[in-house]
Amino acid sequence: MFIRQIFISAGHSSTGPADFPLIELVKIECAAGRGVIGDRYFDLRENYKGQVTFFSAEVFERLCAEFGISSKSAGVLRRNVIVSDVDLSSLIGREFEIQGVRFARASHCAPCRWMDTVFAPGEKKFLANNGGLRAQILSNGWIKIGAAQLIVSPPSS
């Protein structure tokens, strides 16, 4: 697994992402049960399952190819951590660890309604089953760009 890009945004908007631009970072601090420090979902509500979001660089490449777009960053999707060499859907419902930070309650992160505007018409439909992964943060720590070991807990019985 490799962490390619990391983003945060300070706030939410009812009119689209332009009100709160994305900030690209080389690392983020994860706070157990609270979220990513500095991000719009930090302390949103207790036990929120979308404290951090992940997106596949490979899916982004397919998206760009499908729509003939090469000028946009994966940041336009407003996910926190862009990863490669991992099947994010295999983590749904599982606990896992990346760079010493533990995550749980992983679930599909459906694409937002404004994605057709910020990327290309039809993007939301293209990403219907590939919108990324959201998870709850179980332990404090830092996630940084670079090679990362993924440790997946066995399925619970």
Domain-located, residue 146: yes
User: What are the backbone dihedrals phi and psi of residue 103, each rounded to the nearest 5 degrees, phi first?
Assistant: -130, 155
Angle at 136 between CA 44 and CA 148, to 5 degrees: 125
Rounded Cα distance, 46 and 154, in Å: 26
Q: Please name the amino acid found at residue 64.
A: C
pLDDT tens string 103-129: 999 999 988 777 767 778 788 788 888
Answer whether 80's CB lies under 8 Å from 28's CB.
yes
The answer to whether position 83 is within a domain reads yes
**157 part of a folded domain:** no
- The residue range of the domain holding 124 is 2-152
Q: How far apart are CA 99 and CA 97, in angstroms?
A: 7
Between 14-28, 89-103, 136-150, the lowest mean confidence (pLDDT) is in 14-28
Query: What is the number of structural domains in the chain?
Result: 1
Strands (E), 17-61: 22-25, 27-31, 35-36, 52-56
What letter represents residue 145's amino acid? I
pLDDT in tens, 29-79: 999 999 999 999 999 988 899 999 999 999 999 999 999 988 888 888 889
CB 143 within 8 A of CB 99: yes
Residue 17 counted as domain residue: yes
- Residue 144 placed within a domain: yes
Q: What CATH number did the domain enclosing 132 receive? A: 2.40.33.20
User: Mean pLDDT, the chain, as a whole number?
Assistant: 89
51 within a domain of the structure (yes/no): yes
